[in-house]
Amino acid sequence: MNTTLSANVATSQQRKSYYDRIAEESMTPLWEVLGALVPQQPRSPAVAHAWSYAQVRAKVLEAGSLISAAEAERRVLILENPALRGQSSITQALYAGLQLILPGEVAPAHRHTQSALRLVLDGAGAYTAVDGERTTMRRGDFIITPAWTWHDHGNPGNEPVVWLDGLDIPIVRFLDAGFAEKSDSEYQAVTRPEGDALARYGSNMLPVDFQQQPSDPTKVFVYPWERTLSTLHALKAGSPDPHFGHKQRYVNPATGRSPMPTMAAFAQLIPAGFETQPYRCTDGTVYVCLSGSAEAHIEGQTFRLEENDVLVVPSWHSQQFCALTEAVLFSYSDRPVQQALGLWREQRS
Ligand code: 1HN
């Protein structure tokens, strides 16, 4: 029998019945899915989307009257990508949420293998404690909680405090590598004075015998806004990069690598009236507008960004920013994972 010929003449009905029969053995034909499995270029199921802080702020605060931080463990509204509802994901690889802590509240100590970052958005007077050291949270501070470090938050002040949480939850879930533990005590014991890690590891010096593995997270767990802003302002003396404006990446100062192995973070200043050239990259990215206002052109869609607005740009989506006033954008992505695996690509046009 000529198998080629008989395959060619098989009707779609014959194929379908064959697919049904092999399905009983938990098998499926590759040829029906090959194009989708191995696309010529990324086709993210995620979509570009922006959350206006002015619009969602009241709803975030409303959660404060529905549940306590202690009961919730973490009182957070998850920012779900509209095309990935139900998955607690803002991109295929990343999670984002807005966390609220009210005066007098404590979010109890726990640890997990997911890495977390925080960007303080609103209010003052809260602290977060990481590995025995507390840091007062100030707007624009970028704070990290590396995998498996104990962390708790508290608000001894007198205003509600809101920050953005960024975690690598979908990556850890994909790898089935999630572990978590609650502490017996609400707070972790304070073992170091505030500012200790930054002085020891974040001041262009390191303890004389300190050694780190390349993939170790940084001991510096807070990158104060004040320092970020003075760096970005100093860069204004030079000419902006056509694709980014003045853009810096946050690093582990001991290695020059990203602060944590799974997530990169960036801060950029775009001068008033400056329009960045079209750019795309394979790391789906979450942006937060920290100051000023900008228009983002993402794959043909336009989003207006004001202070504290969050924008998600999925993998390989063309992006262009136009600063309406001088704008500072924070962003984070899964770039270090892609780079470690040799997958990361970018395109400047
Ligand atoms: C978490 O531990 C925090 O510590 C925030 O503030 C959000 C989302 C999922 C899992 C753990 C926090 C989280 C989280």
HSE (side-chain half, CA atoms, 13 Å) at 39: 7
pLDDT of residue 215: 84
How many other β-carbons are positioned within 10 Å of the β-carbon of residue 103?
15
- Counting Cα atoms < 13 Å in the Cβ hemisphere of 280 gives 16
Which amino acid would we find at residue 231?
T
Q: How far is the CA of 74 from the centre of ligand 1 (A)?
A: 6
Chain centre to alpha carbon of residue 173: 15
Residue 74 Cβ < 6 Å to ligand 1: yes
Write b or e for each residue in 262-275: b if 16 or more Cβ atoms lie within 10 A of its Cβ, otherwise e. Answer: bbbbbbbbbeeebe
Tell me, in angstroms, the distance from the centre of ligand 1 to residue 100's CA. 12
pLDDT of residue 1: 47
Helix H or strand E encompassing 50: strand 49-51
Ligand 1 geometric centre to CA of 312 (Å): 19
DSSP letters of 246-284? EEEE---TTTSS-SSSS-EEEEEEE-TT-BPPPEEESS-
Name the residue among 271, 278, 269 with its Cα closest to residue 331.
Answer: 269
The reply to whether ligand 1 has any atom less than 6 angstroms from the CB of 168 is no
DSSP-assigned letters across all residues of 70-112: HHHSS-EEE---TTSTTTT-SSSS-EEEEEEE-TT-EEEEEEE
DSSP bridge pairs for 311: 50, 287
Which residue among 60, 73, 76, 173 is best mutated to probe the pocket of ligand 1, counting the most ligand atoms within 8 A of its Cβ?
Answer: 76
pTM across the whole model:
0.96
Cα–Cα distance between 97 and 296 in angstroms, integer? 21
| 284 Cα–ligand 1 center, Å | 20
Asked whether the beta carbons of 103 and 68 are under 8 A apart, the reply is no
330: which strand partners?
267, 288
Beta strand segments in 155-242, E = 161-167, 180-182, 222-223
For residue 100 and ligand 1, the question of a CB distance below 6 A is answered with: no
Compute φ and ψ for 72, nearest 5 degrees: -70, -20
**Pocket of ligand 1 contains residue 162 by CB under 6 Å:** no
Predicted confidence (pLDDT) per residue in 91-128, tens digit: 999 999 999 999 999 999 999 999 999 999 999 999 99
Q: What number does the ligand 1 atom closest to the CA of 97 have?
A: 7
299: left (phi over 0), alpha (psi -120 to 50) or beta: left
User: If 0-12 CB within 10 Å is exposed, 13-18 middle and 19+ buried, where does residue 133 land?
Assistant: buried
What's the CATH number for 49-348? 2.60.120.10
Closest ligand 1 atom to Cα of 118: 6
Q: Which residues of the chain have pLDDT under 50?
A: 1-2
